[in-house]
């Protein structure tokens, strides 16, 4: 399997404050990786560096062999990586159709207003409907996003990232604020959508250890800006000291790992 993303000796400093220190990590084709750690561990900074929002103070980040340090979200999407945010990044007055069309128009490099040309642009319309079908939005395309449940809004944000047809997708706490009953439904859709649309790798930032245990191929644990562990779930959850360092003193009850 080829390596999709590689971070080499990445550090990020804000003045005298060290947010990341000599982080090394990679994701290969076919992998689902979870990044975990307590508040202040450096997860957000690492995600921002990995997705080109921030330049590392030291080290390098390569995606598909090319340096992506500080390139920004638009160029990143063109190169084949997309990011869905922890805080739902959608506009409440747009319809589901319009929300998806913005992402599709970016991928198709449509110039001008994608909402104005949506109805008469057959290629754009077809692509929107294809993504909607994958994520179960076909019957809700003309609903405004403000009328969706929190779980549906999270899913729409993920669907917008998938609309870019990325090879690698990064999701930031995809089930935060969602009911326990809906969490696994969102995760199953995420995994199945990746298979159907040709996404080669998934990185998630997640605090829910049940989801981490069930869906991850590898777990990268951060503490104080450093990689504390890079382990398979079976190894990670056999180490009470490691779990305590990441999520607190109580060992969580975790679900059996999902099998493809």
pLDDT (tens digit, 9 = 90+) per residue, 87-115? Answer: 445 678 889 998 998 888 888 877 666 56
Position 109 scores a pLDDT of: 75
* CB atoms closer than 10 angstroms to residue 63: 23
Instruction: List the structure tokens of 2.
Output: 């080829």
Sheet containing strand 201-205, edge to edge, reads 81-84, 168-172, 201-205, 32-36, 218-223, 226-231
Query: What is the Cα–Cα distance from 122 to 106, expressed in whole angstroms?
Result: 15
The pLDDT of residue 217: 96
Q: How far apart are CA 234 and CA 120, in angstroms?
A: 52
Res 6: pLDDT: 95
Chain centroid offset of residue 36 CA: 13
What tens digit of pLDDT does each residue of 189-202 get? 899 999 988 899 99
Q: Write out the chain's pLDDT in tens, 260 residues.
A: 689 999 999 999 999 999 999 999 999 999 999 999 998 899 999 999 998 889 999 999 999 889 998 888 778 888 899 988 644 456 788 899 989 988 888 888 776 665 666 667 788 889 999 999 999 999 999 999 999 988 888 889 889 889 889 999 998 888 887 887 788 888 998 999 999 888 999 999 998 999 999 999 999 999 999 999 999 999 999 998 888 888 764 444 455 666 55
Question: The domain 1-73+168-179+200-260 is classified under which CATH number: 3.30.70.1520, 3.30.530.20, 3.40.50.300, 3.40.50.1820?
Answer: 3.40.50.300
Please choose, from the candidates 161, 177, 159, the residue with its C-alpha nearest in 3D space to the C-alpha of residue 169. 161
| Domain boundaries of the chain, sorted by first residue | 1-73+168-179+200-260
**Residue of 36, 43, 32 whose CA lies nearest to 4:** 32
Sheet of 17-28, strands arranged across: 17-28, 3-14, 58-63, 66-67
| Residue 119, pLDDT score | 64
Q: Are 199 and 166 in contact (CB under 8 A)?
A: yes
């Amino acid at each position: 399997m080829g390596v999709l993303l590689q971070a080499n000796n990445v550090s990020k400093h804000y003045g005298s404050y060290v947010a990341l220190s000599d982080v090394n990590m990679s994701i290969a084709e076919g992998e689902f990786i979870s990044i975990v750690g307590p508040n202040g561990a450096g997860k957000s900074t690492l995600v921002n560096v990995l997705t080109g929002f921030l330049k590392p103070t030291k080290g390098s980040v390569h995606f598909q062999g090319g340096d992506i340090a500080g390139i920004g979200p638009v160029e990143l999407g063109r190169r084949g990586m997309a990011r869905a945010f922890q805080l739902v990044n959608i506009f409440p007055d747009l319809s589901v159709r319009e929300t998806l069309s913005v992402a599709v128009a970016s991928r198709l490099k449509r110039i001008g207003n994608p909402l104005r040309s949506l109805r008469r642009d057959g290629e754009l319309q077809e692509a929107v409907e294809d993504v909607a079908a994958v994520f179960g939005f076909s019957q809700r395309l003309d609903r405004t996003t403000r009328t969706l449940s929190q779980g549906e809004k999270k899913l729409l944000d993920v669907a917008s990232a998938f609309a870019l047809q990325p090879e690698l997708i990064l999701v930031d706490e995809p089930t935060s604020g969602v009911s326990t009953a809906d969490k696994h439904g969102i995760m199953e859709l995420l995994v199945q959508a990746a298979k159907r649309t040709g996404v080669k790798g998934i990185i998630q930032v997640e605090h829910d250890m049940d989801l981490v245990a069930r869906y991850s191929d590898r777990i990268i644990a951060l503490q104080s800006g450093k990689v504390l562990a890079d382990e398979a779930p079976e190894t990670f959850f056999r180490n009470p000291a490691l779990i305590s360092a990441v999520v607190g003193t109580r060992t969580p009850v975790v679900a059996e790992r999902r099998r493809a």
